[in-house]
Structure 1
Amino acid sequence: MKILVTNDDGINSEGLRLLALELEKYYEVYVVAPDSEKSATSHAVTLRSHLEIKKVKLEGLKNPSYSVSGTPADCVRIGLALLHEDVDLIFSGINRGYNAGGDIKYSGTVAACAEANLHNLPGVAVSAEFKDGSSDFKTAASFVPGIFQKYQDLVLAGPIVLNINVPKLPEEEIKGIKVCELGDLVHDRFRQEIISEEISHVFLKDRKMIDLKDGADQKLLSQGYITLTPIKYIYKDQALMDEFLQVK
């Protein structure tokens, strides 16, 4: 099996390298990732400037890797169109910080997998909790092959995104793995600084988690579980289309 690995934290992220190393124990792995951090770029692509591709060497990996001066979605597009047309699926991560609940809408990590879906390929997004100034990428990476192999037939059956989040805990303290729904959007709070009558600057002050929904990813992560959420990006709702067609 041939896997393309990307992320939104950039080509030099330790999470990316450790994920690729773990997958390389079982599969043929190629890395195409942004040349710098592109967090929260969602599904943006580059249209008005050229993209620079560089061949780079990541420590421990057998195959050449490539950096791209663009977004995670750019990396998937370039990786599939120019470098590795015959890949079987995309892995994205390991992200520094959860991609849970409504936050997936802004995530470059998850959007890279959504881009894979547009090319009729499945994607697996992997994120690790950021806590006390760091993420435990090594522990998170160690779980990924086993999770994928358990659900491989379902993942490969069609263009879906499997969204995986791993809490920052010693391996023996992780309570298990739960398949679950997405939680809610985290509420961002802002601070406004008045510059003049016409201009003000707005800064992200903090993020406040609302009450956690029982059985959803955010709640289960807080309880020490790894969470798996299968996601389908459906761009055509035939029933809704039929309703519109019936309007005279």
Structure 2
Amino acid sequence: MKLLLTNDDGINAKGLHALARELEKNHELIIAAPNSQRSACGHSITIHEPLYVKEVKIDGIKSKAYSVSGTPADCVRVALDKLMDRKVDMVISGINNGYNLGTDVIYSGTVSAAIEAAIYKIPSMAVSTDITEEVEKYEIAASYASRILSIAKDKYNKDDVVLNLNVPLVPVEEIKGIKVCRVGGKTYDNYFIEKLGENDDRIYELKGKLNEPNNEETDVHYIKEGYVTLTPLHYDLTNFNILNEVGKIFNKQ
């Protein structure tokens, strides 16, 4: 398969490199990633300034790679239009430094890059794993990404669905299996720490406490239980369950 790899942690991110090393064993890759850290940028795109694209060499990786002065979604757009000489079979975004579970998928640049591909009717996958101060390891997640890719290629290659893959940070022998599940609840009690800067400017630093309701059968729940989670996502945010209900009320007005 011909694959486009991207991320939101930047062209120098270890997770991207681990994913590239694993996938280029059996696939043809082009890498296009932001030139700097762009985590939590969501689905933003650059419209008021040009994008600067530079070919770079990544040690230990033979595939062509490009840094882009934009967002993850920008990377997908410019790669599809200018950097690839034929149609890509799948876009894979990651491996993200940290899970993309629950409502975090709304803010995630990693997931948004995969959604950008889906908008253009290209199959896509977002890949994430947890990282701690003591452990930064991506090889297990890369292996699972390769495994899911092989299955999807033969049995489920939908061009408008994002496969959101999260791999727990545990030894591979402790992983209990793969759970296909829905997005769970995950919110934050956000607050800001106020400081004074130069000229008495007010500076606000975001802090927050994580809230994770223990809803069973969700990605948030299963990742804690030691499962790899796989959630199909779609960019159509319509709530079809209440579409007719709302229509009956407002179409009469």
Normalising to structure 1: TM-score of the pair? 0.91
Measured in 1, the distance between the counterparts of 2:67 and 2:115 equals 20
Q: 1:189 to 1:25 in 2, by over 3 A?
A: same
Aligned with residue 243 of structure 1, among 241, 247, 251: 247
The structural deviation recorded for 1:118 is: 1.3
Measured in 1, the distance between the counterparts of 2:47 and 2:60 equals 34
Aligned partners of 1:190 and 1:202 also within 8 Å = no
Aligned partners of 1:155 and 1:162 also within 8 Å = no
The 5-angstrom pairing of residues 41-190 of structure 1 reads 41-84=41-84, 85-153=86-154, 155-190=156-191
Q: 1:134 to 1:188 in 2, by over 3 A?
A: farther
Measured in 1, the distance between the counterparts of 2:65 and 2:195 equals 46
Aligned partners of 2:29 and 2:64 also within 8 Å = no
Residue identity matched to 2:32: V
The structural deviation recorded for 1:237 is: 7.2
The superposition leaves residues 54-88 of structure 1 with CA deviations (integer Å, 9 ceiling, x where unpaired) of: 00111232221100000000000000000115111
Aligned partners of 1:55 and 1:67 also within 8 Å = yes
Measured in 2, the distance between the counterparts of 1:28 and 1:22 equals 11
Measured in 2, the distance between the counterparts of 1:29 and 1:195 equals 48
Task: Extract unaligned runs of 5+ from structure 2.
Answer: none
The structural deviation recorded for 1:211 is: 2.1
Q: In structure 2, what is the equivalent of residue 20 of structure 1?
A: 20
Measured in 2, the distance between the counterparts of 1:90 and 1:108 equals 14
Residue identity matched to 2:140: T
The superposition leaves residues 205-237 of structure 1 with CA deviations (integer Å, 9 ceiling, x where unpaired) of: 233223221111111111111100011111667
Task: Please tell me the root mean square deviation across aligned C-alpha atoms, in Å.
Answer: 2.3
Q: 1:161 to 1:47 in 2, by over 3 A?
A: same
Q: In structure 2, what is the equivalent of residue 228 of structure 1?
A: 230
Q: In structure 1, what is the equivalent of residue 40 of structure 2?
A: 40
Aligned partners of 1:188 and 1:204 also within 8 Å = no
The structural deviation recorded for 1:247 is: 2.7
The superposition leaves residues 78-133 of structure 1 with CA deviations (integer Å, 9 ceiling, x where unpaired) of: 00000115111100000000000000000000000111011111210000112235
What's the secondary structure of 1:156's corresponding residue?
Answer: coil
Aligned residues: 247
Measured in 1, the distance between the counterparts of 2:119 and 2:132 equals 33
Task: Extract unaligned runs of 5+ from structure 1.
Answer: none
The structural deviation recorded for 1:200 is: 4.7
Measured in 2, the distance between the counterparts of 1:223 and 1:237 equals 30
The structural deviation recorded for 1:186 is: 2.2
